[in-house]
Amino acid sequence: MRIRVAEEKDWDDIKAMLEEIHRFESQFDPTYLVDEETAEVLEKWIKKGTKKDGVVFVAEKDGEILGFACGWITKRPEHLYKERLMGDFCYLFVKEEYRGKGIGRKLAETMLDFFRKKSIRFVILETHQKNERARELYRELGFEEISVNLVHDFHGKIKKSL
């Protein structure tokens, strides 16, 4: 297995994984929409984010894409933050049949190395509260939980959907 920078030929595989991520996360977040355009929208968003100061890495073995990670550097408003540049670690995904083999860890470490080499001090990512497996990996990699997103549903359906 090797980690490399994604190429244009990898995007069909990456889009399929993006759709799977979004579908998985929709079980935790009732605001998510998953439809036939989900993967296309996410692909455009990632390509825009990684165009200037970002990257998409893939884990590949024997020509098969096993997973991917992506992120980019975000500029934050001056006079509001100690560090203006922030690493935005956007996605980490490994196909289900390859989980538990260290591939996600290797992708995450590669993404963190990307930010480190760019002299980024802080890297931020989001994961869902109930995605304990991901949260455990991120804590092992040195991430600390510093904020919580709260959602209010005026229709009272959040608890029912979780």
Residue-by-residue DSSP string for 3-42? EEE--GGGHHHHHHHHHHHHHHHHTT-TT---STTHHHHH
**Structure token pair of residue 42:** 């996410």
| Residue 159 confidence (pLDDT) | 58
Does pLDDT of 26 surpass 50?
Answer: yes
Give per-residue pLDDT as tens, 89-134: 999 999 999 999 999 999 999 999 999 999 999 999 999 888 899 9
**Structure token pair of residue 6:** 């994604």
Give per-residue pLDDT as tens, 73-100: 999 998 888 889 999 999 999 999 999 9
Superfamily for the 2-161 domain: Gcn5-related N-acetyltransferase (GNAT) (3.40.630.30)
| Residue 161 confidence (pLDDT) | 47
Does pLDDT of 157 surpass 90?
Answer: no
